[in-house]
């Protein structure tokens, strides 16, 4: 039987991991779920008496295994394009250099290969930019979903509070 706490096991499935500054209490799984990707404003502390976070503190990092599972469908084609571009660029560059060294290729063919290397290089760069764009959109989606979860959680907690006090 596993001795890993359920909250830790559940947190392993989240795409982002929270890193609290030194002296901060460990947040609950519910807090992490409802604040994924949230950047506290300067000077914010979770409870009175906690030290402020150091300048440029990194609060969140990727949980690689969970991130890959979440991002795989969105990134599959963009990454394939990126890897194919790198392979084609290397092949064209090698063939061009080989032709220049051997001297068996006419100049126009070498220029054609150089044009192919440049074109594939540009397309590869565009594919890498697309991967970054998709990853940024995924982080935005995570943050938006966390905000929605937080709003739903806040409503549920408030409704529970009202029921406990007899108010409606």
pLDDT tens profile 22-75: 999 998 888 888 888 888 888 889 989 899 999 889 999 888 888 888 888 887
pLDDT score for 10 = 61
DSSP 58: -
Half-sphere exposure at residue 27, Cβ-oriented, CA atoms within 13 angstroms: 19
Give the pLDDT confidence of 106-163 residue by residue, as tens digits: 777 777 777 877 888 888 888 888 888 888 888 888 888 888 888 888 888 888 878 8
Beta bridge partners of 17: 61
- What is the pLDDT at residue 2? 39
- The span from the CA of 62 to the CA of 78, in Å, is 19
Residues ≥6 apart with Cβ < 8 Å to 93: 117
Which 3 state secondary structure label does DSSP give 18?
A: strand
């Amino acid at each position: 039987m596993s001795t890993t706490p359920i909250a830790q096991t559940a947190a392993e499935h989240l795409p982002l991991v929270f890193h609290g500054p030194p002296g901060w209490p460990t947040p609950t799984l519910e807090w992490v779920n409802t604040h994924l990707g949230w950047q506290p404003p300067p000077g914010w502390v979770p409870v009175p008496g906690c030290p402020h976070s150091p300048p440029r503190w990194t609060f969140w990092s990727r949980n690689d295994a969970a991130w890959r599972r979440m991002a795989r469908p969105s990134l599959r084609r963009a990454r394939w394009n990126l890897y194919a571009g790198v392979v084609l660029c290397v092949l064209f560059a090698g063939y061009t250099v080989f032709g220049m060294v051997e001297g068996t290729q006419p100049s126009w063919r070498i220029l054609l290969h150089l044009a192919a290397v440049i074109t594939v290089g540009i397309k590869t760069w565009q594919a890498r930019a697309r991967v970054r764009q998709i990853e940024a959109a995924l982080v935005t989606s995570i943050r938006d979903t966390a905000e929605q979860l937080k709003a739903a959680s806040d409503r549920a907690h408030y409704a529970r509070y009202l029921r406990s006090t007899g108010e409606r």
